[in-house]
Structure 1
């Protein structure tokens, strides 16, 4: 595995081009519903709010923030926030949203690759470093990422992460769930297909992307190896996105396996702290 300073440049460049092109699709999509967000919709899930706790007056850094809607939701809850993403179009959208909802004075957005966050963000460290929901999949180096994160957590502060559970990647979902893929996949996943998760039929040009499915053990070991202390690891039987046709949406808005079917870990969350 490469160190954070030696990650593959081609990997990052291709992914940046792919995400840059998809920002307008995402900003206009029903999934992100930016009109609803401007009107006050909160993007923070109830379990996230409970596990993170009161953020009033806290300095929160959101890594890989995309268009900043989660970032700004934490600002609405009272945090002083910085959002970081490598896509300049995404950050431009985030800054526009911050201005539209009157939070430009409490939310700063920075264009930077996550491995260069130490040099890019305005403060030396933060009370809360937050990331998740589809972020880790795009990283070429989980150990380098964890080292960067740990260097940004203030004494007495913590990393909070919520993500899709990697266990789900062993299944194919074409009407019946069946185990067809390895859970342990050290090789990169290279994709060159048009579309986006907000519109699978969208005609796009910059389609090459690189990703890596890390096991839960790899992720937790990288975080603990960075010097942070694991406070908890929670696995959740619900998810925020219908990744597979079998998942059913409940009255609470979450997706889960149908009643009567075995429950599966669909998401996880963790908290890892730096001693005061």
Structure 2
């Protein structure tokens, strides 16, 4: 896998200052290649907002906890991110961000509201005490890629071209009309152009797998309502192991818990999101 200096992901989250008259405000562009279902992937949006906060907090480059509320559907096109630093601490800083776009009538619409705590993950104590264990997966070459699927994961294939996803064969029965009803999906992940994982890309990974509702017999787009990611460490180079599961589906909503493990066998990120159950025809 070839390492590149400017990946599609880096270009997708790139932002520039909006000028001296707009402190803490950044502008960028959402590309159509990151669209899924009815809008831009929620993990990518969270990474865009996180990149703005990183620029506001140079001494604390990494989110240790970041939560986003998705207020309206984001579309390809220009965006703005307005940040506000709430507290600059010695080991932890807190800030908020608001990602917005213009609607079809040219009126500003808020898409995403974020609150986060930032630190320097590389400077944290390396001691780990955990009862968590990484998912046991077959090697990537023995797992199922989208090219092996008898049915598409989603009709919007552009997003899936941005990364390489290899799903555990034990969790893809839904692809042949036989969901396990266990509410679990897991597999291997890496960016398609060879970019190695880092803290901001983990925000994308937390929302990259198909919704676990596929394994409950509900295929389709599951819009995210809220997504919180806790980052534990800077990931090692190589494949990531990702596991998604749910225990509750009620009132048209479900929670989705995610664990992300790096190639060194460390739990580098955890997330929980609340999403809407996909609409059925």
Pick the structure with more helix per residue.
1
- TM-score band w.r.t. shorter chain: under 0.3
Under a length normalisation based on structure 1, what TM-score does the superposition of the two structures give?
A: 0.26
Pick the structure with more strand per residue.
2
